[in-house]
Amino acid sequence: MQLRTTPLAERFGVIVEDSDLSATDAAGYAAIRAAFEEHSVLLFRGQEIDDEAHLRLARMFGPVEDRLSDERKKGEAYKVPEVSNILEDGSVTSESDLHTLNLKANMLWHCDSTFLPVPALTNILIGRVVTETGGETQLASARAGWADMPEKLRAKIRDKGLWHRYAHSRAKISPELAKLPMFHKWPDQLWRAVWTNPVNGREALYIASHAFRVEGMDQGPGATLIDELASFVTRPAYVYSHKWRAGDVLIWDQRAVLHRATPWDYARPRRLSSLCVSTGPQDGLDAMRLTVEDHPVPRSGVS
């Protein structure tokens, strides 16, 4: 099966034309997965896809991530997570609300779930309620940025690992937010700083707003290097800004692409459905792990 595509951005991504994601079968998934490995970002417009079809598509990529498994009551059904400021009664959260502050933390460049014992392979994000202005999702190719990066800078990080902590990114927005228990469920994670795609051998810088320390470096110089690396791969030449329409579906490779939300008028409702799929050995996960025994965990706590 061949997909009909047009370029999304100059260096990465494609728009997939005339495709009904709700009817994806094994052959369709194989074509989607091949495009995913090659182009890193796929955009499908005008989709009518409910939660059941959303879950079915996600499970073709791998296990669906469930961060709330320890909080769900016995017999309580899994619900597709939403990125939204809309409350159950239809009102919206205020700009100073901790929930809104958490949404603002998503406006930092990141890959999803680098703070988990198993990070995300992809996010399948669907536009449900969108805003007329603001609220774009921006994507940055860490593959293209890494390919262009001067060798002198690449050499500083190529063979090192990065420590990741959920509370670290939240502390950048609000110390109060970072203290919430939900951001302290998992121990710090150590991943190699470069992810090699096992299908095509292409490398990408693996970095996120959750990264707080470079393996083997003091805190200050390490933080400076993290900022320098992230700034390079998120230069305008490597960024695509997506203006949402209802029914848009974005699928991107978390191993090769960073993303962030952008502000909107928080008095306006906005809702996206989001399913992250976890990586597995076939996605290069095992090669990314650095053993904690060989790399001692730095001092815990919010940094």
What is the tens place of the pLDDT at every residue in 90-114?
Answer: 999 988 888 888 889 999 999 999 9
DSSP SS3 for 141: strand
pLDDT at position 133: 94
Q: Which 3 state secondary structure label does DSSP give 78?
A: coil
Question: Residue 188: pLDDT above 90?
Answer: yes
| Sign of the dihedral through C-alpha 26, 32, 33, 34 | positive
**pLDDT tens for each residue of 117-167:** 999 999 999 999 999 999 999 999 999 999 999 999 999 999 999 999 999
Q: Are strands 137-141 and 239-242 parallel, antiparallel or unpaired?
A: antiparallel
pLDDT score recorded for residue 276 = 98
Cα-Cα-Cα-Cα dihedral of 173, 179, 183, 184, to 10°? 140
pLDDT digits (tens, 9 = 90+) for 20-41: 999 999 999 999 999 999 999 9
- Residue 171 scores a pLDDT above 50: yes
CA distance 107 to 209: 10
pLDDT-derived band at 292, boundaries 50, 70, 90: low
Residue 285's CB: how many other CB atoms inside 10 A? 18
CATH tag for 83-288 (out of 3.40.50.300, 3.30.70.141, 3.60.130.10, 3.30.420.40):
3.60.130.10
pLDDT of the residue at 66: 95
CB 205 within 8 A of CB 160: no
Are residues 134 and 263 in contact, defined by beta-carbon separation less than 8 angstroms? yes
Closest by Cα among 124, 139, 80, 128 to 245: 128
Please name the residue ranges forming H helices in 64-208. 98-105, 142-148, 151-154, 166-171, 175-178
Distance CA 273, CA 127 (A): 7
pLDDT at 88: 87
Backbone dihedral region for residue 298 (phi beyond 0: left; psi -120 to 50: alpha; all else: beta) = beta
- What is the spatial distance between Cα 115 and Cα 162, in angstroms, rounded to a whole number? 11
Task: Indicate the pLDDT class of residue 295, thresholds 50, 70 and 90.
Answer: low
The whole-angstrom distance between residue 201's C-alpha and the CA centroid of its chain comes to 21
Neighbour count for residue 129 (Cβ, 10 Å): 16
The span from the CA of 57 to the CA of 251, in Å, is 11
Q: Percentage of the chain with pLDDT > 70?
A: 96
Strands 14-17 and 4-7, by their bridges, are: antiparallel
pLDDT of 87 > 60? The answer is yes
Q: Please return the burial class of 153, using the count of CB atoms within 10 Å of its CB with bins 0-12, 13-18 and 19+.
A: middle
Span 204-233, mean pLDDT?
97
Model pLDDT, residue 303: 43
What pLDDT sits at residue 302? Answer: 42
* Range 242-250 average pLDDT: 98
Domain ranges of the chain: 83-288
pLDDT of 274: 97
Amino acid at residue number 37? E
| Residue 300 clears pLDDT 50, i.e. is over it | no
Q: Is the pLDDT of residue 294 over 60?
A: no
The pTM (predicted TM-score) of the whole model is 0.93
N-term to C-term CA, the chain: 49
pLDDT for the residue 85: 92
* Residue 296 pLDDT: 55
